[in-house]
Every structure is written in structure tokens, then in C-alpha cells.
Amino acid sequence: MIRILLVEDDSRDARQVGQALDQACDMPFELYRSQSVGDAVNQLRRQDVDVVLSDISLPDSSASETFASLHRAALNVPVIFITNADDTRLALDAIQQGAQDYLIKGDYSGQFLVRVIRYAIERKKYQDDAAEAQANARTLRHQAKLLRREQEHLRILAKAKDDFISLASHQLRTPATGVKQYIGMLLEGFAGDLPEHLRPFLQMAYESNERQLSIVNDLLRTAQLDAGNMVLSRQPTNLTSMLANIASEQHSKFVERHQKLIYKPHGQEVVLDIDPERMRMVFDNLIDNASKYTPEGRSIMVGVKQSVQMVEVRISDQGVGIAPEHVVKIFEKFGRVANSRSAQVGGSGLGLYWAKQIVDLHGGTIDVRSKVGEGSEFIVRLKRLRPAPEVSKPQEGNQRHEHIDGRQIARA
């Protein structure tokens, strides 16, 4: 059903339009009529129509204003003018303003009128769509510009943050490096013989400074992680020997604390596509934590399990444990939990935070199970990206396996 508003003050002309439409009869229509532009504008505000057929000169409107008034009242409705033969120039002007078409009074058949109406409706729809698309494109271009500006702004901020981090870490490390060098000289004999009774004091000062340096390192790492600066450099890495190396490096600490570190590697060598330096920090930190929070004389267990898709490293201790309400906090930044050992342990409260960030970056997970007074177990799961090297160099693999499997790395 096509709804037509006819704006025509001359009743005879109006009748002619009605007859022509009846004649065509293949287009169902409803015809409304207004006798002036003012009337038509009111009508258009009240009611939706599909097309306006209008005389060009009406009692309340000059030819040059008619189109503008009708168009303002219904922007999406196509307007066709019906003019006297000597008014065609005016009609052409209206088309320039946006009218769809014009007809000459008395010079059209019903068929022709219907075709003009149908074309006008389709054309108008197309024009409106095109105009909308253009407007959208303009908006998008504008938004893209804003985004680019925003991006540039963020880039500048990120750079400022990076620069600050670099500078701050440099400035914090330099004086501590001085302390390390000079106390190191005394302790390591670069300044002649050290009276033995002074050694423990200097050793304390040296270790305290080392702790400060490691906190600066933690802060810096955290800032780099936050800034999204950390890019993993993945390479095939032998996890089995990485863990064995960490265990033997930390050996003296375990001896000092009268703890036992039991390493149970998976029967087969585990090779993963990981960033060795970063992942080493994770396990170093977890094993060190396990030792720090475990009383003297107890054990820490490091175990590796491998399935088709995952590798699982478990680090369990017999330490103080973490209360359930604190477990959620420990992977947060500065999420240290106060317990009976935290004062002695020190630390920045960032180790587990960046451990989680690094494991996350690898697409793995890190979880903890803990019971107060009994101990904690940290479980790192990493994806295996390649199938297990089942048959490669079986002899070498066996030798290594015999060598490492089940051996106790440290004894009290």
C-alpha cells in the first residue's frame, strides 16, 4: 500500500491525479490531500506517507519555498512536483534542491504517474542510504582520528613510564652497587686481611644490600610486566635440567636451613617451548619461597608430571601454610600475607605476582593448595606445544633419566 499526500489547491487538478491513479490500478494506494503547504506540513507531522505529489506554486508558498518546507517536515519522503507546462524551470530548480521528479499537468497517463512514484520512492531510499553511509563513514573517519590521537597519547604515556622505570631502577641500583663493591672488597680480600670478628657484621650488611637489590629487581620486573613490555623469547628448553640446576644452585641455602629438597623429575626429559630466563625466575621464586616459609628440618618437594597436552610442576612444602581467606590475595601485587615467618622472610610482595604474570603470558596456569600449619603446594601447568620426543636419542635419554630420576638434590 503506497500512501500518497497530494498537495493541490485546485480541485480539478486534484481530481485528475486521483483518476490517473485509479486508471493504473496495479498499485494499491491511499490518497490524502492538502490544499496548502501549511496544511501539508501539519499532515506530514501527524502521519507517515510514502510520497508527496505537490503543485509547485501554492497560495501560502512561493515556488522556491515549497520544496524546502515539505522536505523539512518529512526528510525521508520523496517529493514529486506537478507543474504547469510553463513552470518547468521552477520544477528543475526544486529537483536541484532535492525533489525527485516532476510531471506536467495534463500530460501524464496513470501508468506513467505510477512509474514515476515507484522510481521516486526507490531512488529516495537509495539516496538516503547512500547519505547515511556517507555520514557513517565520516563518523568513522572522525572516530579513527580520535583513536589515533588517543593511541599516540597512550604511547607517549607508556614511554614516559618506561623512561621513568629505567631511570628509577638505574638510580636505585647505583648506590647499592657502590655498597656491594666496597663491602665486597672487604669481604673478598681486596683490601687486605679482614679481622675475623668484623666478618659477620659486614656479611650482614652485604646480604641486606643484596636484598635491597633484589627488591629493586622485583619492582622493575613488575613495572615492565605492567607496561606490557615483556616479550617472551621462547625456545625449546629442557625443563628437567632447568629444575635440577635451580635445585643445585639453591643447595647451600637448603643446607644452611637444614632442609631437604627432593626433586622428582618426570621419567622422561621434558622439553618445552618457553622463555627459559623468565620461566627460570618463576621456579626459582617458587622454590625459594617454599624454603623460606618452611621451618628448619623439613622438606620441600619438586615434582614434574607430563600428560599428552600438559606439563605439571608441583612445588610442595611443609611450611606455615596460607589461610583460605589469604589464598586469593597471594598472586596480587604486594599481596604478601602476614604469618609467623613473613617478618623474617622479607621480600617485596611481588614474586608471586610476576610469577603468575609470566606463567599467564606462556598461556599456562598457576594454582595453590594450602593448609595452615601443614604446608602449601604450588602447581604450574604449561602447555606442551610439541609431541613428546619419544624415540629421539633413546640411549642418551635413558642415561640422563637414570642419573636424575629420584635423586635427592640436597640433604640436611
Q: Is 226 helix (H, G, I), strand (E, B) or coil?
A: helix
Nearest to 362 by CA among 311, 290, 316: 311
27 burial (CB, 10 Å; 0-12 / 13-18 / 19+) is middle
Please pick, from the candidates 42, 64, 143, 203, the single residue that binds another protein as defined by CB under 8 A: 203
What's the rounded Cα separation, in Å, for the pair 187 and 174? 20
Q: Is 297 helix (H, G, I), strand (E, B) or coil?
A: coil
> Minimum CB separation from another protein for residue 265, in Å?
26
Question: Is the Cβ of residue 137 or residue 167 nearer to another protein in the bound state?
Answer: 167
What's the rounded Cα separation, in Å, for the pair 161 and 229? 11
Residues 6 or more apart from 398 whose CB is under 8 A from it? Answer: none
> Minimum CB separation from another protein for residue 400, in Å?
28
Choices 2-10, 202-210, 239-247, 359-367; region in contact with another protein by CB under 8 A: 202-210
Question: Is the Cβ of residue 10 or residue 210 nearer to another protein in the bound state?
Answer: 210
Residues 6 or more apart from 355 whose CB is under 8 A from it? Answer: 281, 282, 285, 286, 331, 366
> Minimum CB separation from another protein for residue 403, in Å?
27
Of the CA atoms within 13 Å of residue 221, those in its CB half-sphere come to 22
Q: What is the DSSP letter of 192?
A: B
Site string for another protein, 137-176 (x = CB under 8 A): -----------------------------x--xx--xx-x
Please pick, from the candidates 67, 81, 102, 206, the single residue that binds another protein as defined by CB under 8 A: 206
Question: Is the Cβ of residue 32 or residue 182 nearer to another protein in the bound state?
Answer: 182
What's the rounded Cα separation, in Å, for the pair 33 and 37? 11
Q: Does 208 bind another protein (CB under 8 A)?
A: no
Question: Is the Cβ of residue 83 or residue 259 nearer to another protein in the bound state?
Answer: 259
> Minimum CB separation from another protein for residue 198, in Å?
13
Choices 43-51, 111-119, 212-220, 281-289; region in contact with another protein by CB under 8 A: 212-220
316 touches 377 (CB < 8 A): yes
Residues 248-287 that bind another protein (CB under 8 A): 252
379 touches 314 (CB < 8 A): yes
Residues 234-253 that bind another protein (CB under 8 A): 252
Question: Is the Cβ of residue 28 or residue 228 nearer to another protein in the bound state?
Answer: 228
374 touches 318 (CB < 8 A): yes
Of the CA atoms within 13 Å of residue 37, those in its CB half-sphere come to 21
The strand order across the sheet containing 29-34 reads 29-34, 2-7, 51-55, 79-83, 101-104
Site string for another protein, 349-388 (x = CB under 8 A): ----------------------------------------
How do strand 101-104 and strand 79-83 relate by DSSP bridges? parallel
Site string for another protein, 177-196 (x = CB under 8 A): xx-xxx-xx-xxxxx-----
Question: Is the Cβ of residue 368 or residue 412 nearer to another protein in the bound state?
Answer: 412
What's the rounded Cα separation, in Å, for the pair 17 and 25? 13
Binding residues with another protein: total (CB under 8 A): 28
Question: Is the Cβ of residue 109 or residue 252 nearer to another protein in the bound state?
Answer: 252
Nearest to 57 by CA among 94, 21, 31: 94
Site string for another protein, 101-130 (x = CB under 8 A): ------------------------------
Q: Which residues bind another protein (CB under 8 A)?
A: 166, 169-170, 173-174, 176-178, 180-182, 184-185, 187-191, 203, 206-207, 210, 213, 216-217, 220, 231, 252
